[in-house]
Structure formats: structure tokens, C-alpha cells
Amino acid sequence: MKIYEDAPVSAKVPCGLIPIIDNLAARLRIRRSDLIRKALADYLSAAGAPLPSQMRLALRGAR
């Protein structure tokens, strides 16, 4: 799956995961988009990929 930086955050994950993400975000008391951004950043950094500049800027508000 190719991730486009300008796509809405929820468009970057399969639609079947949205209810699971919503439930987890509610439990953590954070927004869905912040949870997705954090998960994508963790995944990319674990894979050794550099974070795109747009994502780095977006993550500043999610931490």
C-alpha cells in the first residue's frame, strides 16, 4: 500500500481497521488521526525509513 502524504489520515489505513482504531483512540483519549500518525511513524522508524517532513510536522502535535 502506497502512502500519500497529502491524503487524509484515515485514508492511509484499510477501512476495516477504522472501528478498531476508533476504539483504541477512545480508550487512550486521543484523536483517531493522532493515533494513526503515531502508529505510522513507529512503523516507519522501526523499518528504518526516514519520516517524511510532512509527517514529522504532524507528529509534533500528536506527542
Q: Whose grid coordinates read 512503523?
A: 43
- Residue 53: phi, psi to the nearest 5? -60, -40
pTM: 0.49
Amino acid identity, position 59: L
Per-residue pLDDT tens listing for the chain (63 residues): 444 455 566 556 666 777 887 888 888 888 888 888 788 777 777 777 666 665 666 666 555
Query: Quick one: cell of 63?
Result: 506527542
Q: Rounded to the nearest 5°, which phi and psi values hold at 50?
A: -70, 145
